[in-house]
């Protein structure tokens, strides 16, 4: 008989970010505001990120795609059409967490991608074998995501969804630590559908939670 074990995420998980554009740098900025360490990567290599990481502050360092992908929590924030290349050839994630911030639409045409009836998070999940995928940080425009989530006495809402309860709890804890109010939308086939852009009803909604 084979024992089934749920991967344990360390109490202070390390963080990587693949993609340093609008969303990747917004996530890095939010992490940096709280002094949380992260490794940021793009397609052009760490040298191209020198100015950005200097601007973001000491908790964010530039790394390779492989270094970012090796962390306990890996944000993926890459143009939809470039995701297969950005995630190609990485080792199995072995139960580590991938946060899917992506939406299946791309500048400059903003034509929805053909998903053949699948959810974008299902497509992303196939590209990160062994990962526990949580959909989050995708429903707000990057400029708003990067701002202080304390808003008019409340906390800006971020949605998250996923099929692994422990992974979702880890992401929920991070969302809370960053000052947002997290709302669990359930499993990927429910929550990712609600939060997906285009198609879902939740994208762009700037909700503020008053406790
Ligand atoms: N922009 C928004 O407001 C927004 C809001 C919600 C969700 N999203 C979603 O978030 C994702 C990222 O969007 P974005 O606006 O941040 O795009 P972006 O500004 O164009 O940035 C994309 C990033 O992906 C990196 N990348 C591309 N190919 C790569 C590869 N092979 N290896 C490593 N990195 C690679 C790029 O690297 P280089 O810098 O080296 O080119 C760039 O840093 C998309 O799926 C989008 O739908 C965007």
CA atoms within 13 A of residue 118's CA, in its CB half-sphere: 13
Q: Angle formed by the axes of helices 120-127 and 188-195, to 10°?
A: 120
- Confidence (pLDDT) at 2: 58
- Confidence (pLDDT) at 188: 97
Residues with a CB atom less than 6 Å from ligand 1: 18-24, 41-44, 65, 77-80, 82, 85-86, 101-103, 105, 138, 141-142
pLDDT above 90 covers what percent of the chain? 91
Ligand 1 centroid to Cα of residue 105, in Å, is: 11
Per-residue pLDDT of 8-67, as tens digits, reads: 788 789 999 999 999 999 999 999 999 999 999 999 999 999 999 999 999 999 999 999
The mean pLDDT of the chain is: 95
Domain ranges of the chain: 15-146+195-204
Task: Over range 179-205, report the average pLDDT.
Answer: 96
pLDDT of 104 > 70? The answer is yes
Between CA 210 and CA 92 the distance in angstroms is 40
Highest CATH level, class, for 15-146+195-204: alpha beta
Most informative mutation of 21, 121, 196 for ligand 1 (most atoms within 8 A of CB):
21
Between CA 173 and CA 30 the distance in angstroms is 14
Task: Over range 130-139, report the average pLDDT.
Answer: 98
pTM of the model: 0.96
Is residue 181 helix, strand or coil?
A: strand
pLDDT of 1 > 70? The answer is no
Ligand 1 centroid to Cα of residue 184, in Å, is: 25
pLDDT of 124 > 60? The answer is yes
């Amino acid at each position: 008989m084979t024992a089934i074990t749920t991967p344990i995420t360390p109490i202070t998980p390390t963080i990587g970010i693949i993609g340093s554009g609008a969303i990747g740098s917004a996530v890095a900025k939010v992490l940096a505001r709280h002094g949380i360490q992260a490794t940021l990567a793009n397609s052009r290599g760490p040298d191209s990120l020198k100015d950005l990481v200097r601007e973001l502050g000491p908790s964010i360092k530039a790394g390779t795609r492989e270094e970012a992908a090796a962390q306990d929590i890996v944000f993926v924030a890459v143009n939809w059409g470039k995701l297969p290349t950005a995630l190609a050839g990485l080792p199995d994630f072995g139960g580590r967490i991938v946060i899917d911030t992506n939406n299946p639409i791309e500048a400059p045409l903003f034509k929805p991608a053909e998903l053949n009836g699948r959810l974008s998070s299902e497509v992303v999940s196939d590209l990160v074998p062994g990962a526990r995928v949580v959909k989050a940080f995708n429903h707000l425009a990057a400029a708003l995501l990067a701002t202080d989530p304390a808003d008019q006495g409340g906390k800006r809402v971020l949605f998250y969804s996923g099929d692994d309860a422990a992974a979702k709890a880890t992401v929920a804890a991070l969302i809370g630590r960053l000052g947002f109010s997290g709302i669990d939308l359930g499993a990927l086939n429910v929550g990712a559908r609600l939060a997906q852009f285009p198609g879902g009803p939740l994208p762009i909604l700037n909700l503020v939670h008053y406790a």
